[in-house]
């Protein structure tokens, strides 16, 4: 069975009545442009009629000449069409033969319609139809299906050659995007097959050409991760409600022009249905506008205060189209994970302010977390929890010393005393901050700044260490009231964990179950150290893998939960999805 959906699903030509306005408009232009201007025929040859029995050979010769041009002209086969994967397409035809592979004589093969139908409903896979020559393929089909007599377009070898190249290029691009995604490999990507060889695409085509359904090929290429499929299962519900073409009134923030801000905000709240359309800004009371803001904040899960701050303004300026980009980017982030996740691991999702402990694909612990501010971001990384420390001291990182502590002590050395910080020299001796000539230091200082253990320590009662180059860790906090906030990008980069105790004792239990003959730390010992407030280092024998990631949406019960792009990382990645601006 091929892909079945209930959104934009039909034969792409015969059911255009259900298609969005932009598709009608562009297809109409392409059809008129291609029918009314003979110069749009491929530059390779002048169009001439070829008998059906000669079509495959004639079109094959044109494919060869078109590919010669494409390899010399950045993938362009003519002034209108540029192949996205010219090297792989050229290799495909060199190995498979310069002939038509999507048609025979003057008829399309069923696999051609299958691919076009898939492209038409590509959004259900987080893909953009425009990336796969949708408009040009529709234009070709309009010509072929419009030639009911079989004496005009169906006898045009150049048209069949163009159609074949478009389908081959689209097929290769689809295979690559479904398998690897469109994001560049980064320092934490764990995929071994980050590059697909030319033979891989040919193998997939041979499977498809000789019996395998395209849906089965897609299933074999996609990640097996549970989260990926939960997210994908929510796409249908999202698309049914979304209007990807609708634009909203932009609310300028921070506001430099008070009237422009207030009037734009008023229009935007009307677009949300929170203020009646019959009202005008000048006729509406401030109380009604504040009530509308509060209602919007309530349904968005924000702090309800009736004031438009950064997060509220950001959400107001996010469209359904922006959400679809988040969805597409997140699906592709899954494709950068290892093909098989560990049996047990800790998953930290920065934009969700959430930590999950996963065992055998089931979540056995969820905890609220606090992550880094946009200026002091929590890094994306792979590691493993290697030790825990009860009642830890906090050695302040150099970056915080430079940006916060040094400016503060230059103003008043008593700052260190008020914060409970100690100044330690290279010999391990404590130094009186009033005896230091602070003015001579610009960035670094020849001292450690340490906060002693205890209830007032920024790391709280327990710290989880793991190897990383950023000097970050998971830990408890002395600012536990932060967990009651909706937006929790508040730290210097470390991850503060609300339910640190459950996580710690799970790790201890895991060590005891898998200890064998090795030494491990009993849970009772840790409980005693916590009760008497003693500092101890607890090695983790069976290290728990840790993944810190930046996923701005997730699927749950057939719907999609979106999170704010707090670090604007998704916004930066949109350039890799170039077909839609």
Cite the active site residues: 475, 494
Q: How would DSSP label each residue in 318-346?
A: --HHHHHHHHHHHHHHHTTS-SS--SEEE
Backbone phi and psi for residue 260, each to the nearest 5 degrees, phi listed first? -60, -40
* Cα 19 from Cα 15, distance rounded (Å): 7
Cα separation, 212 vs 530, whole angstroms? 60
Contact predicate 340/482, CB 8 Å: no
DSSP line for 273-287: TSS-TT--GGGS-HH
CB 323 within 8 A of CB 312: no
Task: Specify whether the CB–CB gap between 357 and 411 falls below 8 A.
Answer: no
- Choose among 466, 231, 224: nearest CA to 338: 224
The answer to whether residues 567 and 374 touch, using CB atoms and an 8 Å cutoff, is: yes
Burial 515-528 (b: 16+ CB within 10 A, else e): eeeeebbeeeebee
- Retrieve residue 397's tokens: 């990182």
Q: Do residues 334 and 228 make contact, with C-beta atoms less than 8 angstroms apart?
A: yes
CB of 104 closer than 8 Å to CB of 211: no
* DSSP H or E stretch at residue 186: none
User: What are 462's strand-pairing partners?
Assistant: 390
Q: Distance between terminal CA atoms of the chain?
A: 34
Q: How many residues does the chain have?
A: 581
């Amino acid at each position: 069975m091929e892909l079945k959906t209930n959104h934009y699903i039909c034969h792409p030509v015969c059911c255009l009545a259900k298609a969005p306005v932009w598709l009608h408009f562009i297809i109409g232009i392409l059809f008129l442009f291609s029918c009314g201007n003979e110069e749009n025929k491929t530059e390779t040859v002048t169009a001439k009629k070829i008998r059906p029995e000669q079509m495959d050979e004639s079109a094959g010769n044109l494919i060869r000449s078109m590919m010669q041009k494409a390899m010399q002209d950045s993938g362009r086969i003519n002034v209108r069409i540029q192949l996205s994967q010219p090297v792989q397409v050229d290799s495909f035809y060199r190995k498979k033969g310069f002939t038509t592979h999507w048609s025979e004589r003057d008829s399309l093969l069923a696999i051609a319609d299958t691919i076009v139908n898939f492209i038409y409903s590509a959004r259900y896979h987080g893909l953009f139809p425009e990336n796969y020559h949708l408009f040009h393929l529709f234009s070709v089909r309009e010509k072929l299906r419009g030639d009911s007599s079989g004496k005009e377009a169906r006898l045009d070898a150049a048209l069949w050659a163009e159609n074949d190249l478009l389908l081959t290029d689209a097929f290769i691009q689809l295979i690559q995007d479904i398998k690897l995604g469109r994001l560049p490999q980064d320092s934490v990507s764990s995929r071994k097959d980050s590059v697909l060889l030319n033979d891989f695409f040919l193998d997939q085509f041979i499977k498809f050409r000789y019996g395998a359904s395209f849906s089965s090929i897609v299933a074999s290429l996609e990640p097996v991760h549970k989260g990926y499929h939960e997210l994908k299962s929510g796409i249908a519900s999202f698309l049914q409600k979304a209007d990807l073409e609708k634009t909203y009134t932009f609310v300028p923030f921070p506001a430099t022009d008070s009237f422009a801000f207030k009037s734009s905000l008023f229009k935007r709240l009307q677009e949300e249905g929170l203020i009646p359309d019959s009202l005008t800004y000048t006729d509406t009371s401030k109380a009604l506008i504040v009530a509308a803001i509060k209602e919007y904040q309530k349904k968005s899960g924000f702090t309800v205060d009736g004031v438009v701050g950064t997060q509220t303004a950001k959400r107001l300026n996010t469209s359904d189209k922006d959400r679809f980009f988040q969805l597409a980017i997140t699906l592709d982030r899954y494709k950068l994970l290892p093909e098989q996740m560990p049996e047990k691991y800790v998953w930290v999702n920065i934009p969700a302010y959430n930590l999950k402990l996963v065992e055998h694909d089931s979540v056995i612990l969820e905890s609220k977390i606090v992550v880094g501010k946009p200026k002091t971001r929590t890094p994306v990384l792979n590691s493993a929890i290697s030790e825990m420390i009860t009642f830890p001291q906090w050695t302040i990182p150099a970056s915080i010393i430079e940006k916060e502590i040094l400016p503060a002590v230059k103003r008043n050395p008593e700052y260190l005393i008020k914060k409970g910080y100690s100044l330690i020299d290279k010999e391990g001796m404590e130094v009186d901050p009033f005896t230091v000539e602070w003015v001579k230091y610009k960035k670094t200082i020849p001292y450690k700044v340490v906060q002693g253990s205890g209830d007032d320590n920024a790391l709280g009662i327990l710290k989880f260490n793991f190897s990383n180059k950023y000097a970050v860790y998971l830990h408890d906090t002395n600012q536990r009231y932060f967990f009651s906030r909706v937006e929790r990008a508040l730290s210097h980069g470390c991850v503060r964990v609300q339910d640190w105790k459950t996580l710690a004792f799970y790790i201890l239990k895991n060590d005891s179950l898998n200890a064998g003959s090795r030494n491990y730390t009993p849970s009772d010992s840790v409980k005693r150290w916590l009760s008497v407030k003693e500092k101890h280092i607890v090695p983790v024998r069976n290290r728990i893998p840790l993944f810190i990631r930046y996923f701005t949406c997730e699927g749950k019960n057939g719907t999609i939960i979106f999170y704010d792009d707090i670090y604007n990382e998704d916004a930066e990645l949109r350039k890799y999805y170039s077909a839609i601006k």
